[in-house]
Amino acid sequence: MLGKFKNKNIPLVWALIGALVSSVALGYAYFLLDSKFMNSRQESALAIAELSLERDNLTKRILGLEEENRYLIEALYSEQGKNRLFEEQINEIANTVGLLDKIRRTDPELLQKYSKVYFLNEHYVPSELGAVNSGFIYEQGRPMLIHARVNPFLEQMLREAVSDGMNLKILSAFRSFDDQEFLKSNYKTIYGSGANQFSADQGYSEHQLGTAVDFTTVERGATFDRFEETNEYRWLLRNAHRFGFVLSYPENNSYYQFEPWHWRFVGVRLATKLFNEGKFFYDLDQREINEYLAYIFDQS
Ligand SMILES: [Zn+2]
């Protein structure tokens, strides 16, 4: 029976064995594959974990660097701010030093208000005098002096007046104390005690300073008669401030008689301020005037 069975079923047995062996082999292969797969999954998971750790570290470093960067930028800004402040302070100091130096080098008498009780010392002489361009002098051949630093302003003003068709001439500029004495005694001879009212005390100081000019026109000549009616006077009223000149004794002023011909240099800045505000030099406080001393020879 067994033998029969044996003989008959040998191929089947082999087939079964074969199937068994192959399923075992397959199972083993599957096991191998699976464990390999598992391993590689584990490895991947590990690698991913490592990578994410690394990423986290990198993120932290980036955040750290950004923080550091922000800090550096802030520090830079703060340094720049300090530098700017420092620079501003230096400029301010330089400006102050420059201003002080300008004030120190500028004769304070140039912007002094003079009156019947306060006038220039008889020994005063301007620091520098220059000859007035002879083309602008009324009496040809009579040399005339003016403060050397006022001269360019005067010349520029007269050139512009000429180009506007004005016939403005200079009758008098710098006058020394002795010149003035002579003039005054002459006036006294002619006009008696009224001479004080006419020529002298107040306007005199301004001529001795070398910064005042008496104008006339060819038509008006050597007299000051009705100069206020000329186009030249009106031109001066509109334009003289641009060249730093002001009318010292305007009409209806309370400190001296009206002298339309007498103009004093006070600098473009102060003259322009007075012009814009409709004020006159002698209306201002001496203290307010003194603030303009440093700028007296500036072009604007
Ligand atoms: Zn005068």
**What pLDDT sits at residue 33?**
79
Mean pLDDT of 23-47: 81
Which residue type sits at 60?
Answer: K
The rounded distance, in Å, linking the Cα atoms of 215 and 239 is 14
For residue 263, the CA-to-ligand 1 centroid distance in Å is 7
Question: What is the whole-number distance in angstroms between the Cα of residue 207 and the centre of ligand 1?
Answer: 6
3-class secondary structure per residue, 150-218: CHHHHHHHHHHHHHCCCCEEEEECCCCHHHHHHHHHHHHHHHHHHHHHHCCHHHHHHHHHCCEEEEEEC
Mean pLDDT, rounded, for 124-144: 93
Report pLDDT digits (tens) over 75-111. Answer: 999 998 989 888 898 888 888 888 888 888 899 999 9
DSSP annotation of 295? G
Q: How far is the CA of 26 from the centre of ligand 1 (A)?
A: 131
Report pLDDT for 196. 47
* pLDDT over 90, % of the chain: 54
Mean pLDDT for the chain overall = 87
Distance CA 47, CA 56 (A): 14
* Span from the CA of 204 to the centroid of ligand 1 (angstroms): 7
105 C-alpha vs ligand 1 centroid, how far in Å? 26
Distance in Å, CA 300 to ligand 1 centroid:
25
- Higher per-residue pLDDT: 242 or 197: 242
Centre of ligand 1 to C-alpha 34, Å, is 121
Residue 140 CB partners (closer than 8 Å, separation 6+): 134
pLDDT at 190: 53
**146 Cα–ligand 1 center, Å:** 13
* pTM of the predicted structure, to 2 decimals: 0.68
- pLDDT, residue 259, reads 94
Ligand 1: centre distance to CA 182 (Å): 15
Q: Give the range with max mean pLDDT: 54-68, 150-164, 185-199.
A: 150-164
* pLDDT exceeds 70 at position 40: yes
Cα(145) to centroid of ligand 1, in Å? 14
Q: How confident is the model at residue 7 (pLDDT cuts 50, 70, 90)?
A: low
Structure tokens at 201: 């005390």
Q: What per-residue confidence (pLDDT) applies to 198?
A: 40
pLDDT exceeds cutoff 70 at 247: yes
CA of 41 to the centre of ligand 1 (A): 111
Overall average pLDDT of the 176-203 stretch: 60
Determine the pLDDT at residue 195.
43
Question: What is the pLDDT at residue 176?
Answer: 86
Query: pLDDT at position 6, please?
Result: 56
Nearest to 288 by CA among 279, 255, 149: 279
pLDDT at 188 exceeding the cut of 60: no
pLDDT of residue 199: 44
Distance 70 CA to ligand 1 centre (A): 70
How many whole angstroms from 259 Cα to the centroid of ligand 1?
7
